[in-house]
Amino acid sequence: MRLRLLPLSDRPLRVAVVGSGPAGFYAAGALLASDPPAEVDMLERLPTPWGLVRLGVAPDHPKLKEVSRAFEKIAARPGFRFFGNVELGRDARQADLAELYDGVVYAVGAQTDRRLGIPGEDLPGSWSATELVAWYNGHPDYQHLEFDLSVERVAVVGAGNVALDVLRMLALTREELASTDATDASIEAIAGSDLEELVMLARRGPAQAAFTTPELKEMGELAGADILVDLAELELDPVSEARLEGDTNARRNLEVLREFAAREPAGSPRSVRLRFCVSPVAILGDGRVEAVEVVRNRLVDERAVPTDERETIGCGLVFRSVGYHGVPLPDIPFDEDTGTMPNDGGRVLDEAGEPIPGLYCAGWIKRGPTGVIGTNKKDATETVELLLEDARTGKLPRSDAPADALVDLLVERGARPVIYAGWEAIDALERSRGEPLGRPRVKLCSWDELLAAATES
């Protein structure tokens, strides 16, 4: 099939959006709202949309998940089609999409985790936080994982909001978990566990922590866990003190942490301990995690510099929560260091730094794994504006494939796409299962269940 340049008014622009998380939906929304509106086919590896809103946001944060209503409105607009259970590389490749669409926007997120690079990191009992998060959220690829929650102490490495999510989820009581959409297996495992102490290990000081104040405050409001902070670890060097002047989040975090440090523990069954200026140097154990060895750091211009002081913290599980990392897709440029597609505002660049016509990216695969859900709206809108500018200025190759060419291709490749009505059937079933229990939904967590529910629609 030949690509040719057509005037914009010939027919609506046809764009494929790969990935159905916030960045994908915001990109789709901006395309569908353009004048004249573009047509959008959204491709997603899972049978379900919404990315981290469904499978990353903590189950006890239902308000954050309400953004999915905005995504539902976008999906209801004329010109939108959803193709779940379609995997790039397996069912379609970039070369196919380039032939079938005028433009392709990759919004595939950052699908793996960063590593610590220390001895013992691969011992049984050492996990990435992303694995635990995917497990309790019902991701169908993670339900076979077995976290041994019979241990007394767990260490969580990192001081971001994901670290707080993991600490909090593991500290929730059965009552707190009961009204969430966490999987039944995870609720049973967490509520019935022997966990006593959950320790966060931040390599820098409290003024440099990546978590945000509302999320930190919640750690002091847990029904079944005390929050423990050592006042001595909240002492600031002059550079950190100066940071508080211009950094509202850091200033508020310090206020909250000092209030935590002043508390008398209530003797709750569990406790969450927040440690600062400590870095794991090794994960220790004979065949499984038994302890983590940490070095105390001092800050030099806000960088963590190790001292000679070491400490061994006994623990049976370690979760590293030190950020996500993007993964490369076949035939698309990728920068291994940043885990992103090299791009200029969302235009994907080739090795010479030139934009590749028709190829765009949005969200974490564009800017790295930072920001809150809403950050992706501005990010995706910027990408779409550039795509539309390229269309206006004749820089977008326009496909002469018919609108249903993707369907034909998927049939030819033996794929079993889940269309939006299929997802709506899954959604309705999950909600109906949750309703009598006062839960937003009871998720279907296996590929078989999801595909069966989608095809029974």
Note the residues at the interface with ligand NAP (CB under 6 A). 116, 157-163, 165, 202-204, 208, 210, 215, 279, 321-324, 369-372
Min dist CB 321 to ligand NAP, Å, is 6
CB 321 within 8 A of CB 162: yes
Min dist CB 110 to ligand NAP, Å, is 9
Closest-CB residue for ligand NAP? 160
**237 vs 385 by CB, closer to ligand NAP:** 237
Number of DSSP helices (H) and strands (E) in the chain, helices first: 17, 20
Min dist CB 254 to ligand NAP, Å, is 15
> CA of 260: how far to CAs of 264, 273, 367, 373, 378, in Å?
9, 10, 34, 28, 35
**204 vs 398 by CB, closer to ligand NAP:** 204
**98 vs 209 by CB, closer to ligand NAP:** 209
**204 vs 243 by CB, closer to ligand NAP:** 204
> CA of 350: how far to CAs of 329, 334, 335, 360, 451, in Å?
14, 9, 11, 12, 37
The whole-angstrom separation of Cα 301 and Cα 220 is 30
Min dist CB 16 to ligand NAP, Å, is 26
**225 vs 250 by CB, closer to ligand NAP:** 250
CB 1 within 8 A of CB 402: no
Min dist CB 302 to ligand NAP, Å, is 9
What is the β-pairing status of strands 291-300 and 355-361?
unpaired
CB 252 within 8 A of CB 274: no
**160 vs 206 by CB, closer to ligand NAP:** 160
Residue type, 279: S
**215 vs 390 by CB, closer to ligand NAP:** 215
Min dist CB 283 to ligand NAP, Å, is 12
**H-helix or E-strand containing 134?**
helix 129-136
> CA of 348: how far to CAs of 104, 188, 246, 340, 353, in Å?
10, 45, 35, 10, 9
Q: Classify 98 as helix, strand or coil.
A: helix
Min dist CB 403 to ligand NAP, Å, is 36
